[in-house]
Amino acid sequence: MAGAEGDDSLYPIAVLIDELRNEDVQLRLNSIKKLSTIALALGVERTRTELLPFLTDTIYDEDEVLLALAEQLGSFTVLVGGPEFVHNLLPPLESLATVEETVVRDKAVESLRKISQEHSPVDLEVHFVPLVKRLASGDWFTSRTSACGLFSVCYPRVSSTVKAEIRQHFRTLCSDDTPMVRRAAASKLGEFAKVLELDYVKSDIIPLFTALASDEQDSVRLLAVEAGVSIATLLPQEDLEALVMPTLRQAAEDKSWRVRYMVADKFSELQKAVGPEITKTDLVPAFQNLLKDCEAEVRAAAANKVKVFCENLPEDSRETIIMTHILPCVKELVSDTNQHVKSALASVIMGLSTILGKDNTVEHLLPLFLVQLKDECPEVRLNIISNLDCVNEVIGIRQLSQSLLPAIVELAEDAKWRVRLAIIEYMPLLAGQLGVEFFDEKLNSLCMAWLIDHVFAIREAATCNLMKLVEKFGAEWAQNTIVPKVLGMANDSNYLHRMTTLFCINALSGVCGQEITTKHMLPVVLKMSTDQVANVRFNVARCLQKIGPVLDSSALQAEVKPVLEKLATDQDMDVKYFALEAISVLSLCSSKLCMLVQFTHSSSQTSPHEPSQCDRIGIGTCLLQHAICFS
């Protein structure tokens, strides 16, 4: 009897263990993800002596299995018997830290870093540090790269002799033969510097930093830039000039554009790290050079930083620096030959207005905005429009409206549907800032035109846009301007447009409120229930389900229920399905229908083709969108 009981509890675990070796990767993966269950069942002793040795040797497996294993082992301490046994987890993680797949190695290192904290100081020196040393002096670069990420977690917690050894190992890796290892060391240099005593930062880290920053491989030098930023934050201001700045200056003028790009990309961090004085003397000219760089990628990266850089300039001289040094470069970038540069600039240039204030904005920035609003590249115009709110706060949007309108109209009619989609998304924002009158006069017709766009994604976004506009301008505005037009489309000869009416009603009923919905929308929806196209009819059912909660119960009982009941007997099975669903959701069912509803519900859960039924319009529009993407 006891044996039989044993079987019952053992069986699921037995299956899990067997599936660790299943031929199907998915099953192995499932099993590995439940490794803690297996370990719990085996107990700490057997986990240590049997399970872990087995796992140590399973590094032949697929990456995703190894990745899951590396992750699991990071939180396995309790399962091997707590902190005093945590070193038992080192062998499997050590072998995972040498596999060729970067993501697996990184995860193994992450887990090693995690469990290093659970080692007692003694265990750290007895078990963990030797592992780091083994990895650091391994034959293969995979193990040496992994070692780079482990120095900083053990350094603070070991004796000074071991500390010296660790520093020595790190030094060796910084001058490794393979660029992969030097890159790994360069990327961990900043992190390692943080845990080192300041004297050692000066005596050890600085020479390493200087060496890596002048490595023969671009890919190593560019990583040294980031390390330089971290190191700069650690040093007292008076040492920066002598120890870090020469190298950073050299990086900003490196022969390789990738290194200069990295400097541009890290410019705001750099600015914070070196403080206001060096910013004024060194970074401003460096930034000017980056904005004028011969490589477009560098200019674009620098252009992205214009706003943040200006914001963080020391307050006393901010305006002078911007006006005399930065703005002339910005003016040139507005007419750059490369569209990525222009669009990067357009995404931040509006932010300058808050920094420079009203007068400067009107005099200097406004002309630039106007040029960018007329740019040939839609992305540039879009970026300007999407940031209008910054300018609005400073000078009001009216100043721009004359140029804004043609830009918006042009984007609204762009041949690329993604561009149209992007401008639709800014409509609520624009409407809020331009005001209801301007909107009615100039933009309303655009919003309506999008409803009959030939791309579904645009029509869908247009309905959503209407909802947001109503939220801004109120139900009364909706009743006067939008609702009549939307309802008018119900008589359109194109069934896609008739469906758009339904989608709009879905979106608008909530924000328009009960009165408008009952009085104006509901009759139209009910009328459409006799549409000859089944797609329209089942969308009527879905629509009724959606607007039901907005209606009062008398309208529901008297008007909606009969229509839905009729649709529930429709000859098209989709119409039937959605009608029954609506009846059930709105709790309109008489007992006979109720059973039917439940029946269809339970069958729909198991029926595999159910989703494709309700998405059958979706597929068509998807294809249409794809066709347009490719065209």
Partner 1 sequence: MLSPVLCSDLAALEPEYTEADVISTVEFNQTGEFLATGDKGGRVVIFQREPQGEYNVYSTFQSHEPEFDYLKSLEIEEKINKIRWLPPHNPAHFLLTTNDKTVKLWKVSERDKRAEGYNLRDEEGRLKDLSTITTLQVPVLRPMDLLVEASPRRVFANAHAYHINSISVNSDCETYLSADDLRINLWHLNITDRSFNIVDLKPENMEDLSEVITVAEFHPHHCHLLAFSSSTGTTRLCDMRARALCDQHAKLFEEAVDPSRRSFFSEIVSSVSDVKFSHSGRYLLTRDYLTVKVWDLNMENKPLETYQVHDYLRTKLCSLYESDCIFDKFECAWNGTDSVIMTGAYNNYFRMFDRASLRDVTLEASREVCKRRAVLQPRRVCVGKKRKETDVSVDSLDFRKKILHTAWHPKENIIAIAASNNLYIFQDRMAPNGHHNTPEIQSAPPK
Interaction site with partner 1 (CB under 8 A): 3-4, 6-7, 10-11, 13-15, 17-18, 20-21, 41-42, 46, 50-51, 54, 57-58, 60, 98-102, 140-143, 178-180, 183, 216-219, 254-258, 294-297
The answer to whether the beta carbons of residues 100 and 68 sit under 8 Å apart is no
User: Closest approach of Cβ 347 to partner 1, in Å?
Assistant: 20
User: Closest approach of Cβ 381 to partner 1, in Å?
Assistant: 25
From CA 574, how far away is CA 561, in angstroms rounded? 18
Q: Which is nearer to partner 1, 299 or 546 (CB)?
A: 299
In sequence order, the 6+-apart residues with CB closer than 8 A to the CB of 96 are 59, 66, 69, 70, 73, 104, 105, 107, 108
Kindly tell me the sign of the dihedral angle through the C-alpha atoms of 559, 560, 562, 566: positive
User: Closest approach of Cβ 70 to partner 1, in Å?
Assistant: 15
Q: Which is nearer to partner 1, 15 or 573 (CB)?
A: 15
User: Closest approach of Cβ 222 to partner 1, in Å?
Assistant: 11
Q: Which is nearer to partner 1, 1 or 122 (CB)?
A: 1
The answer to whether the beta carbons of residues 129 and 166 sit under 8 Å apart is yes
In sequence order, the 6+-apart residues with CB closer than 8 A to the CB of 307 are 348, 349, 351, 352, 355
User: Closest approach of Cβ 21 to partner 1, in Å?
Assistant: 5
Q: How far is CA 79 from the centre of its chain?
A: 35
User: Closest approach of Cβ 30 to partner 1, in Å?
Assistant: 16
Q: How far is CA 438 from the centre of its chain?
A: 35
The answer to whether the beta carbons of residues 162 and 125 sit under 8 Å apart is yes
User: Closest approach of Cβ 631 to partner 1, in Å?
Assistant: 14
User: Closest approach of Cβ 371 to partner 1, in Å?
Assistant: 26
Q: Which is nearer to partner 1, 293 or 570 (CB)?
A: 293
> SS in 3 state form for 597-627?
HHHHHHHHHHCCCHHHHHCHHHHHHHHHHHH
User: Closest approach of Cβ 139 to partner 1, in Å?
Assistant: 9
> SS in 3 state form for 461-499?
HHHHHHHHHHHHHCHHHHHHHHHHHHHHHHHCCCHHHHH
Q: What does 37-55 look like in DSSP terms, one character per residue?
A: HHHHHHHHHHIIIIIHHHH
User: Closest approach of Cβ 188 to partner 1, in Å?
Assistant: 16
Contacts for 405-409 with beta carbons within 8 Å, 24 or more apart? Answer: 405/442, 406/374, 407/373, 407/374, 407/381, 408/443, 408/446, 409/446
Q: Which is nearer to partner 1, 5 or 238 (CB)?
A: 5
Q: Which is nearer to partner 1, 63 or 572 (CB)?
A: 63
Q: Which is nearer to partner 1, 109 or 411 (CB)?
A: 109
CA angle 515, 479, 533 (to 5 degrees): 85
User: Closest approach of Cβ 600 to partner 1, in Å?
Assistant: 40
Tokens standing for residue 602: 């339970």
Q: Tell me the one-letter amino acid at 475.
A: A
- Nearest of 472, 476, 424 to residue 449 by alpha carbon: 424
Q: Which is nearer to partner 1, 60 or 160 (CB)?
A: 60
User: Closest approach of Cβ 75 to partner 1, in Å?
Assistant: 20
User: Closest approach of Cβ 40 to partner 1, in Å?
Assistant: 11
In sequence order, the 6+-apart residues with CB closer than 8 A to the CB of 10 are 41
Tokens standing for residue 355: 């920094």
Q: Which is nearer to partner 1, 24 or 238 (CB)?
A: 24
Q: Which is nearer to partner 1, 221 or 305 (CB)?
A: 221
CA angle 404, 408, 412 (to 5 degrees): 175
Q: Which is nearer to partner 1, 42 or 405 (CB)?
A: 42
In sequence order, the 6+-apart residues with CB closer than 8 A to the CB of 381 are 346, 372, 373, 374, 375, 407, 410, 411
Q: Which is nearer to partner 1, 102 or 553 (CB)?
A: 102
3-state secondary structure of 137: coil
Q: Which is nearer to partner 1, 301 or 427 (CB)?
A: 301
Q: What number of other Cβ atoms are within 10 A of residue 327's Cβ? A: 19
